[in-house]
Amino acid sequence: FGNALNGTIPSSAAQWTKVQSFDVGFNMLTGTLPPELGVWTDISFFSIASNSFVGTLSAEFSRWVQLETFFAPNNKLTGTLPPGCGMWSQLSLFSIAFNSFGGTLPMELRMWTLLRGFYIGSNSFVGTLAEGFRSWVRLEAFYASNNNLTGTLPASYISWTSMTEFSFEYNQLTGSLPAAYGRWTGITVFGVSGNTQLSSTLPSAYSAWVSLSTFDVSGARIHGTLPPEYSAWTQLGSLNVSHNQLTGSIPPEYGPSWINLVSLDVSSNQLAGTIPAALGHWTMLELFVVGNNSLSGTLPVEFSSWTGLVTFRVEQNAGIVGSLPPQFAQWLKLRIFYAHETGISGTLSAEHSSWTALRQFWLHSAHVTGTLPPQYRSWVKLQQFVLHSNSMTGTLPPEYSAWSDALFISVRNNHLQGSVPSSWAAGMRDLRNIHVASNSLNGTIPNTFGSLPYLTSISVSDNNFSGMLPTFHSSLISLVDIQHNSQLNATLPPQIQIWTTCDTQIPCSLSALPMQYCLPPNFDLTTLYTGGVDIPGVIGMIAPFRLNKCWEPPLPSHGPRGDPSMSSFVTKTLSLGAPQQQPPTLSSIFASYQPRIAPSAAFTVALSIADPVTGVGLAALGLGRCAPAALREATWYSQVLLSPFYHLGPGVSVLGNIGLCFVGFAMHCVAVNFLTKKKKCRHVTQDEKRSSRSSLELSTAVEVSLRFPGLSLAATLFLARGIAFYGGQSFIDDSDSSVSTSNGNDAIGLRIMNSILSMIFLIGLVGVVIWAERRGLTKPLKFERYRAAALTRLRWVPRWILPIGRWGPDDARRRLAAFRGPVAGGRENFAMLPAGVGIVGSLIVGAVPGTAGGCIAQAACQCLLLGGSVIAIGVLRPMRVPAAGWLLCSTLILQACINLCIVVGRTTDAESAIDAMMFLSAVYSVVGLLRVAHRIIVWYWERGINPKRDIFDEAKSNISPSSNLSPCNSACNTLNWHRSKQEVRSCSHLTNEGGERTATQSGPRRSAPDSEVQLNHLEKLLHIICMRSSDARSML
């Protein structure tokens, strides 16, 4: 290893039959690998890295069944992977990068179940990635860049749960990025750049990559927006999403989260909006590239905290305005500054002279004014200074002669005056190009410029120069632009290929005519010349303006200097050969359009917590396969209310929600058995006697509420929405849909199991409710109506906002409220209506595919469900609060309309449909807030209810027309109510330390056991009477 060995590996080495480790890496060995080495059946480590081996890998090597490491990068090996290599079942590391292997990846590689590192980059492999490689469950590093592999990235590779480094750059991948890879929670490097046939969004599920340090998808045709959820990448050091089709804005959430960021490149996209000032938190940033977008606003002063910045590029963003903040002087390590073709204005700050490491300064085609600061002489390492097409005034500072490394200076098309300093040529000996055309400069051009040894082009046209042009001794010069200097004269040397000589004192020479040109004003020849166009290409572009007579030809029709029409020739020329934009595919607007009106994600989360019925319904719609990107972004954070395990996929979400339900019931049983179990009244101390009555009543109310797990039932109904949604998603794999979902794919077995479990759970939940009703669990409940006087107590509150009654008695309502919900007496069949609609609706949204047909089916089923519920509520009026019924109907109608807008947008790809959908979503959210406010009003009003004064008498309530109870049943219910009151009273009765009863002002109190006996006798008597009454009715 590393000993400068040369020669070949002899075949006689096969005699070493006990070889276990062979390492000749980093030498100068040549030749082929002898097939005789196949007899090394005990070898576990084989390394020939960084040599010059040629030939193929022999099939005899398949006998190395104990091999753990095969390390052969940086050689000249060819051929395919040897047959039988799947026998290396103990292989842990396989590296053949930087060779010339070809062919396909054999399916037998799936036998490498212990593989941890797979490196085949920079070869010529073809074909697709086999599904069978999912057996590499221990794989940590996968490098296959710079090959010719095709096909899609298999979603089944989610089994690579130990993945840390994944590189598949510069291949020919198609399809989209699998959202399922979000389960690679330990990944640190991810790169698929250069796959120009991809067409994908950035999956929000990748936010689970909390250890990610490098993310590169540049040049991969990525569209959509930058997910704000990626702010979870707190370890990110480098992000490159350049040369894609991203829209939207740069999320400000990235600022305080990516504090370790070193490099950001989002250039050449379609990003808009302002650059968030929050990015100033990136104190470790070295490279910031956002050029060639549609960004706007000013450059935030907060960016001055980037004290280690090396490259700053915001060019070609016409919306960026304002001046360069003087605080940027703290960028002491800055080397590259590009802000050309922007709206930057103001003057150049002298404080930026602190950029002593600056190499390139490009600020042309902006709105900069003022003079050139002499203090910039401190930029002694500057190579390119491009400030043309601005409104600069003043003179050219002689101090710039300190730029000894300068290669290119362009200040053309400004309002500069004075002369060209002769000291420039003396100090800038390496200068290649100097362009000062289209100013008001005068005087003579210093002779020292003629002695520049590497001068390639000089442009001084459209000024007031006079005298004789220097004789240029550089053998590299090919362009001299001196036209429109009426007092300038020159001798035309034959080696210069392009001269612009019109309106000068140069004498006519027929032999020189073929290389003389007269260009129109604002024809930016120098930009073409220095922009990478070769000399023949430039000559071809300016051919229409070549002089063919001794007199000056008439100039082509053009407007004044600065007229945009004059750049049409250049624009047309530069656009030749540019790639034509592909027509948008179906649903491109649907998948990326961002309307102006949309509820924010934070607002939707707050609404979901405050009003679970409305919020979770909107979240399910936004996370369905038919949801557009705008609605998905607005409801992304709300999916935690469907399931806290959403980032792990539909399967785990279903299992997690079911587990939470059972855990909740188990914990509630513990609370019932150990915390609220009724005990005999114990002796109390004198301090406990002094406890407040309010705290006693509170503890008693909590105790009664926990007597039956109504809270657990309510939580189960809430979690059932997520079980229905993700259980429905398990029916259909995400890959079957043309619109990706926010969740990852699950294995087929797990999806089938979760579909079955979710259905069993939902059916079981319905069965529990029916069983509870039939067993008489809710029998103690009775509907108590409010008197008219109570409903008019608060005159500022209309009666239709207030409830018509409530379920009583108090202890039964606390224990069993979840079974009755917001319905009135006699309408108990509608008690589960809001919960049932939410669960069934979530199941429909989750179970449909993202195709156009699936979205139509979703809208049809949702409209039938929601419309039927609205009709039932409107006709039968089961709600105990009229306003609550109206608000619930409004919610259901809006939800149906949103479904219709979704299907129209999905099928027609119309922006108007998405605008309407997001507007309705905003209205939907407002209605949800109204429901929350209404519940607060009802709660506040019912706090002042006095059962003796504001509620109908028990006898009247029991025989009211709205009740369907017989007198016997009413009497029994009344008896049960008295029994519950007696239980509360007996537990709240205090005794002293000696066990004696404490007397009260109301006189002696009957002991709890005596009252219990009397109630038992009364119950038996009522039972006998009711039974006889029933027999008599049957006889009649």
Query: Residues 896-901: what's their mean pLDDT?
Result: 85
Judge whether residue 820 has pLDDT over 50. Answer: yes
Distance CA 675, CA 702 (A): 11
- Ordered alpha helix ranges (H), 156-212: none
Distance CA 179, CA 49 (A): 36
Q: Which of the residue ranges 6-20, 371-385, 402-416, 586-600 would you say has the lowest mean pLDDT?
A: 586-600
Structure token pair of residue 162: 């130990």
Q: In terms of DSSP bridges, do strands 100-103 and 124-127 run parallel, antiparallel, or are they unpaired?
A: parallel
pLDDT band at 926 (very low <50, low <70, confident <90, very high): confident
Judge whether residue 844 has pLDDT over 60. Answer: yes
pLDDT score for 935: 81
Contact of 248 with 229, CB cutoff 8 Å: no
* pLDDT tens per residue across span 938-974: 887 777 776 666 676 443 444 333 333 444 544 555 5
- CA dihedral for 631, 634, 637, 639, sign (positive or negative): negative
Structure token pair of residue 169: 């750059």
Q: For helices 911-942 and 601-610, give the axis angle rounded to 10 degrees.
A: 30
pLDDT score for 508: 58
Domain assignments of the chain as residue spans, ordered by start: 600-677+690-952, 959-991+1007-1035
Highest mean pLDDT (candidates 11-25, 757-771, 826-840, 1014-1028): 11-25
Cβ contacts of 355 within 8 Å, gap of 6 or more: 329, 331, 332, 334, 337, 378, 379
SS3 456: coil
Distance CA 401, CA 362 (A): 19
Contact of 179 with 153, CB cutoff 8 Å: no
Q: For helices 612-623 and 601-610, give the axis angle rounded to 10 degrees.
A: 140
Judge whether residue 88 has pLDDT over 60. Answer: yes
Distance CA 364, CA 316 (A): 10
pLDDT score for 982: 47
Residue 246 sits at φ, ψ, to 5 deg, of -70, 145
Contact of 47 with 74, CB cutoff 8 Å: no
- CA dihedral for 764, 768, 769, 774, sign (positive or negative): positive
Q: Which of the residue ranges 41-45, 633-637, 941-945 would you say has the lowest mean pLDDT?
A: 633-637
SS3 for 833-899 is: HHHHHHHHHHHHHHHCCCCHHHHHHHHHHHHHHHHHHHHHHHHHCCECCHHHHHHHHHHHHHHHHHH
Give DSSP secondary structure letters for 790-828: HHTSSTTS-GGGS-SEEEESHHHHHHHGGGTTTBPTT-G
Contact of 203 with 224, CB cutoff 8 Å: no
Average pLDDT, the chain: 78
pLDDT score for 615: 59
Judge whether residue 22 has pLDDT over 90. Answer: yes
Structure token pair of residue 1018: 């009364």
Omega before 373 cis (within 30°)?
A: no
pLDDT band at 491 (very low <50, low <70, confident <90, very high): confident
Task: Report the candidate in 679, 664, 772, 668 with the shortest Cα–Cα distance to residue 719.
Answer: 664
Residue in the block written with tokens 């490394």:
405
* pLDDT tens per residue across span 308-346: 999 999 999 999 999 999 999 999 999 999 999 999 999
pLDDT score for 673: 65
Task: Report the candidate in 1018, 1015, 979, 997 with the shortest Cα–Cα distance to residue 812.
Answer: 979
Judge whether residue 496 has pLDDT over 80. Answer: no
* pLDDT tens per residue across span 219-278: 999 999 999 999 999 999 999 999 999 999 999 999 999 999 999 999 999 999 999 999
Contact of 207 with 179, CB cutoff 8 Å: no
Please tell me the pTM assigned to this model.
Answer: 0.56
Q: Which of the residue ranges 124-133, 163-172, 690-699 would you say has the lowest mean pLDDT?
A: 690-699
Task: Report the candidate in 394, 439, 450, 441 with the shortest Cα–Cα distance to residue 420.
Answer: 441
Contact of 805 with 880, CB cutoff 8 Å: yes
Residue 830 sits at φ, ψ, to 5 deg, of -100, 10
Judge whether residue 550 has pLDDT over 60. Answer: no
* pLDDT tens per residue across span 773-811: 776 677 777 777 777 767 766 666 777 777 877 777 776
pLDDT score for 718: 77
Judge whether residue 1013 has pLDDT over 60. Answer: no
Residue type, 853: G
Structure token pair of residue 1003: 């006189």
Distance CA 1007, CA 681 (A): 11
- Residue 336: other Cβ atoms inside 10 A: 18
pLDDT score for 672: 63
Contact of 44 with 20, CB cutoff 8 Å: yes
Q: How far is CA 505 from CA 461, 482, 501, in A?
A: 13, 10, 8
Query: Residues 628-644: what's their mean pLDDT?
Result: 71
CA dihedral 958, 964, 968, 974 (to 10 degrees): -40
Query: Residues 533-558: what's their mean pLDDT?
Result: 58
- Ordered alpha helix ranges (H), 447-595: 525-530, 535-541, 568-575, 588-592
Residue in the block written with tokens 């590391």:
93
pLDDT band at 644 (very low <50, low <70, confident <90, very high): confident
Strands (E), 302-383: 311-313, 319-322, 336-338, 343-347, 360-362, 367-369
